[in-house]
Amino acid sequence: MEEEEILGMFVLPRTVVGSEEWELLEKKENSIGTEALFEEIISKKLWSNAEISWVLKRLVYHFGKKDSLIKKAPPERLASSMSVILRAFYLVFDLSDPLMEDNTRSYICSKLVDATWGINQRTRTYLEKIAEKNS
């Protein structure tokens, strides 16, 4: 049975991760190293979907592990970087209007709720109380 038939039986959509291009990127990363591949990709003007996904994966890794050098970055620059990522995510989401199964949609929604900390009224009230207490 071919892969498409198997995927169709389980209603699993194809993704960038696991594609032939993704596998080639992983092989290249293993041969030249993560940093060299990263520099190669960011030096290009146009990236493929696999390259965009690979860079996003690296961003998740570095921000998720609370990289010690990133911790030293000015908060304004980090906020600016997050704003740029959000604009890109918004554009992709708006243009593609993706069909998603409920588990994926639920995961995205829960992560976006987590990301609203400091923006929603509940957490803004909390931050105001902390600021008043520290004054």
Helix, strand, coil distribution of the chain in percent, nearest 5:
75, 0, 25
pLDDT at position 6: 54
High-pLDDT (> 70) share of the chain, %:
90
pLDDT at position 9: 54
Q: Express each pLDDT in 57-87 by its tens digit.
A: 999 888 888 878 888 999 999 899 999 999 9
Average of per-residue pLDDT values in the chain: 88
- When pLDDT is averaged across residues 91-108 and rounded to a whole number, the result is 91
pLDDT at position 14: 73
Q: Express each pLDDT in 106-127 by its tens digit.
A: 999 999 999 888 888 988 999 9
- Rounded Cα gap, residues 40 and 92, in angstroms: 23
- Rounded Cα gap, residues 31 and 25, in angstroms: 10
pLDDT at position 63: 85
Q: pLDDT at residue 4 above 70?
A: no
Type and span of the H or E element at 78: helix 75-96
> What is the pTM (predicted TM-score) of this model?
0.77
Which alpha helices (H) appear in 15-135, and where do they start and end? 20-32, 34-42, 49-64, 68-71, 75-96, 102-115, 121-134
Contact by Cβ (8 Å): 84, 91: no
Q: How far apart are the first and last CA of the chain?
A: 68
